Amino acid sequence: MRRIASSLVASCAIATLSACGGSGFGTSSSTVPTSVQVLNGSGQANDFTVSPVGTLPVQLSATGQTGTGSNVTVVPFATFTWQAGYAPAGASFLRGPSPLGNTPCGTPSEKPAVPVLQAGPGGNTYPLYGGAYSILPPAQTATNVYIGVPLDPRTGAPVLPATGSTNYCLVVDEANASGQVIGSQTVVVTNAAP
Protein backbone atom coordinates (compact mmCIF):
# COMPACT_ATOMS: atom_id res chain seq x y z
CA MET A 1 0.00 0.00 0.00
CA ARG A 2 2.88 2.36 0.81
CA ARG A 3 4.41 1.66 -2.61
CA ILE A 4 1.17 2.59 -4.33
CA ALA A 5 0.86 5.77 -2.25
CA SER A 6 4.47 6.73 -3.06
CA SER A 7 3.88 6.12 -6.76
CA LEU A 8 0.66 8.11 -6.64
CA VAL A 9 2.41 11.06 -4.93
CA ALA A 10 5.27 10.95 -7.44
CA SER A 11 2.84 10.82 -10.37
CA CYS A 12 0.88 13.79 -9.03
CA ALA A 13 4.11 15.75 -8.54
CA ILE A 14 5.19 15.06 -12.13
CA ALA A 15 1.75 16.00 -13.45
CA THR A 16 1.78 19.21 -11.43
CA LEU A 17 5.25 20.16 -12.68
CA SER A 18 4.23 19.42 -16.25
CA ALA A 19 1.15 21.60 -15.90
CA CYS A 20 3.31 24.44 -14.55
CA GLY A 21 5.91 24.20 -17.30
CA GLY A 22 5.09 27.67 -18.62
CA SER A 23 5.64 29.51 -15.35
CA GLY A 24 8.68 30.68 -13.46
CA PHE A 25 11.84 30.61 -15.53
CA GLY A 26 10.43 28.66 -18.47
CA THR A 27 10.71 29.67 -22.08
CA SER A 28 7.88 30.89 -24.26
CA SER A 29 6.86 29.68 -27.69
CA SER A 30 5.74 33.26 -28.48
CA THR A 31 8.24 35.13 -30.62
CA VAL A 32 7.09 38.64 -29.64
CA PRO A 33 7.92 39.70 -26.07
CA THR A 34 5.48 41.87 -24.13
CA SER A 35 8.04 43.07 -21.58
CA VAL A 36 11.78 43.27 -21.25
CA GLN A 37 14.33 42.89 -18.47
CA VAL A 38 17.42 45.02 -18.97
CA LEU A 39 20.65 44.54 -17.04
CA ASN A 40 23.96 46.37 -17.19
CA GLY A 41 27.15 44.55 -18.11
CA SER A 42 27.58 43.49 -14.47
CA GLY A 43 24.15 41.88 -14.25
CA GLN A 44 22.61 44.68 -12.18
CA ALA A 45 19.19 46.14 -12.94
CA ASN A 46 18.36 49.84 -12.41
CA ASP A 47 22.04 50.80 -12.27
CA PHE A 48 22.88 52.58 -15.50
CA THR A 49 25.51 55.27 -15.06
CA VAL A 50 28.09 56.61 -17.48
CA SER A 51 30.78 59.22 -16.87
CA PRO A 52 31.11 62.15 -19.28
CA VAL A 53 34.89 61.82 -18.98
CA GLY A 54 35.03 58.03 -18.66
CA THR A 55 36.64 55.50 -20.93
CA LEU A 56 33.68 53.13 -21.47
CA PRO A 57 29.98 53.37 -22.33
CA VAL A 58 27.41 51.53 -20.21
CA GLN A 59 26.13 48.18 -21.53
CA LEU A 60 22.41 47.41 -21.65
CA SER A 61 21.57 43.74 -22.14
CA ALA A 62 17.91 42.88 -22.80
CA THR A 63 15.91 39.68 -22.34
CA GLY A 64 12.41 39.48 -23.80
CA GLN A 65 9.58 38.14 -21.68
CA THR A 66 5.87 37.35 -21.84
CA GLY A 67 3.37 37.02 -19.02
CA THR A 68 3.16 38.68 -15.63
CA GLY A 69 3.82 37.87 -11.98
CA SER A 70 4.84 34.27 -11.41
CA ASN A 71 3.93 33.39 -15.00
CA VAL A 72 6.76 35.32 -16.66
CA THR A 73 8.52 33.33 -19.37
CA VAL A 74 11.60 34.14 -21.42
CA VAL A 75 11.25 34.65 -25.17
CA PRO A 76 14.39 33.02 -26.60
CA PHE A 77 16.42 34.94 -29.18
CA ALA A 78 14.29 38.11 -28.88
CA THR A 79 15.93 41.24 -30.27
CA PHE A 80 14.86 44.86 -30.00
CA THR A 81 15.11 48.18 -31.73
CA TRP A 82 16.51 50.91 -29.50
CA GLN A 83 16.21 54.67 -29.31
CA ALA A 84 17.55 57.20 -26.83
CA GLY A 85 16.81 60.79 -25.86
CA TYR A 86 16.95 63.13 -22.88
CA ALA A 87 14.88 62.89 -19.71
CA PRO A 88 13.40 66.23 -18.62
CA ALA A 89 15.25 68.07 -15.85
CA GLY A 90 13.60 67.25 -12.53
CA ALA A 91 12.56 63.73 -13.55
CA SER A 92 13.73 61.28 -10.91
CA PHE A 93 15.87 58.16 -11.10
CA LEU A 94 16.53 55.40 -8.58
CA ARG A 95 19.92 56.04 -7.00
CA GLY A 96 20.91 52.63 -5.70
CA PRO A 97 19.44 50.74 -2.79
CA SER A 98 17.68 52.36 0.16
CA PRO A 99 18.31 54.81 1.82
CA LEU A 100 19.55 56.64 -1.30
CA GLY A 101 16.12 56.57 -2.98
CA ASN A 102 15.12 58.81 -5.86
CA THR A 103 17.32 61.64 -7.13
CA PRO A 104 16.33 64.34 -9.64
CA CYS A 105 17.86 64.52 -13.11
CA GLY A 106 19.79 67.66 -13.93
CA THR A 107 20.28 69.47 -17.22
CA PRO A 108 22.86 68.81 -19.96
CA SER A 109 24.95 71.70 -21.27
CA GLU A 110 23.83 70.80 -24.84
CA LYS A 111 21.28 68.39 -26.35
CA PRO A 112 22.75 66.73 -29.44
CA ALA A 113 21.53 63.32 -30.63
CA VAL A 114 22.04 60.47 -28.14
CA PRO A 115 23.94 57.57 -29.71
CA VAL A 116 22.96 53.93 -29.25
CA LEU A 117 26.19 52.02 -29.79
CA GLN A 118 27.23 48.49 -30.70
CA ALA A 119 30.58 46.86 -30.05
CA GLY A 120 32.84 46.82 -33.10
CA PRO A 121 32.08 47.90 -36.65
CA GLY A 122 28.73 47.86 -38.39
CA GLY A 123 27.72 51.50 -38.28
CA ASN A 124 29.44 54.87 -38.21
CA THR A 125 32.44 54.69 -35.88
CA TYR A 126 31.89 56.59 -32.65
CA PRO A 127 34.91 58.79 -31.88
CA LEU A 128 34.89 58.21 -28.10
CA TYR A 129 36.12 55.02 -26.46
CA GLY A 130 39.05 54.43 -28.81
CA GLY A 131 36.91 53.60 -31.85
CA ALA A 132 35.84 50.26 -30.33
CA TYR A 133 32.13 51.10 -30.81
CA SER A 134 29.98 52.17 -33.72
CA ILE A 135 26.51 53.73 -33.90
CA LEU A 136 23.75 51.14 -34.18
CA PRO A 137 21.66 51.92 -37.30
CA PRO A 138 18.10 52.96 -36.24
CA ALA A 139 16.19 49.96 -37.65
CA GLN A 140 18.79 47.34 -36.73
CA THR A 141 17.79 44.99 -33.91
CA ALA A 142 20.06 43.92 -31.07
CA THR A 143 19.99 42.30 -27.65
CA ASN A 144 23.06 44.10 -26.27
CA VAL A 145 23.75 47.78 -26.83
CA TYR A 146 25.90 50.45 -25.25
CA ILE A 147 24.99 54.00 -24.32
CA GLY A 148 27.76 56.52 -24.53
CA VAL A 149 27.99 60.16 -23.69
CA PRO A 150 26.56 62.41 -26.43
CA LEU A 151 29.08 64.61 -28.23
CA ASP A 152 28.78 68.32 -28.88
CA PRO A 153 28.58 68.46 -32.70
CA ARG A 154 30.54 71.74 -32.83
CA THR A 155 33.49 70.70 -30.69
CA GLY A 156 33.36 66.90 -30.60
CA ALA A 157 33.69 67.05 -26.81
CA PRO A 158 31.50 64.98 -24.47
CA VAL A 159 28.38 66.81 -23.28
CA LEU A 160 28.78 67.68 -19.60
CA PRO A 161 26.09 68.52 -17.06
CA ALA A 162 25.11 72.20 -17.27
CA THR A 163 26.53 74.65 -14.75
CA GLY A 164 24.79 74.02 -11.44
CA SER A 165 23.88 70.41 -12.32
CA THR A 166 25.73 67.32 -11.15
CA ASN A 167 24.12 65.05 -13.74
CA TYR A 168 21.69 64.71 -16.59
CA CYS A 169 19.61 61.72 -17.64
CA LEU A 170 19.12 59.85 -20.88
CA VAL A 171 16.04 57.71 -21.55
CA VAL A 172 16.54 54.53 -23.57
CA ASP A 173 13.49 52.76 -25.03
CA GLU A 174 13.32 49.18 -26.32
CA ALA A 175 10.70 48.13 -28.88
CA ASN A 176 9.71 44.56 -29.81
CA ALA A 177 9.46 43.17 -33.36
CA SER A 178 5.94 44.66 -33.64
CA GLY A 179 7.36 48.14 -32.97
CA GLN A 180 5.70 48.39 -29.55
CA VAL A 181 7.86 50.09 -26.89
CA ILE A 182 7.96 47.56 -24.05
CA GLY A 183 10.75 48.92 -21.86
CA SER A 184 12.44 52.14 -20.86
CA GLN A 185 15.59 52.72 -18.82
CA THR A 186 17.23 55.82 -17.42
CA VAL A 187 20.97 56.21 -17.94
CA VAL A 188 22.50 58.85 -15.65
CA VAL A 189 25.46 60.85 -16.99
CA THR A 190 27.48 61.91 -13.96
CA ASN A 191 30.90 61.89 -12.35
CA ALA A 192 29.35 61.53 -8.89
CA ALA A 193 29.35 58.12 -7.21
CA PRO A 194 25.97 56.34 -7.50
Residue 7 sits at φ, ψ, to 5 deg, of -65, -40
Task: For residue range 47-77, list pLDDT tens digits in order.
Answer: 688 999 888 999 999 999 999 888 999 999 9
| pLDDT at residue 136 tops 50 | yes
Out of 94-103, 107-116, 147-156, which region has the weakest mean confidence (pLDDT)? 94-103
pLDDT for residue 16: 37
For residues 52 and 112, the answer to whether their CB atoms sit within 8 Å is no
Q: What is the mean pLDDT of residues 9-38?
A: 54
Q: What is the mean pLDDT of residues 152-180?
A: 92
Of residues 13 and 82, the one with the higher pLDDT is 82
The domain ranges of the chain are 2-190
Q: How many CA atoms does the CB half-sphere of 159 hold within 13 Å?
A: 25
For residues 30 and 176, the answer to whether their CB atoms sit within 8 Å is no
What's the whole-model pTM score? 0.78
Chain CA centroid to CA 32, Å: 17
CA distance 34 to 36: 7
Strand positions, DSSP E, the chain: 35-39, 49-50, 58-66, 73-74, 81-86, 92-94, 102-104, 116-119, 133-135, 144-147, 167-175, 181-190
| Percent of the chain with pLDDT strictly greater than 70 | 78
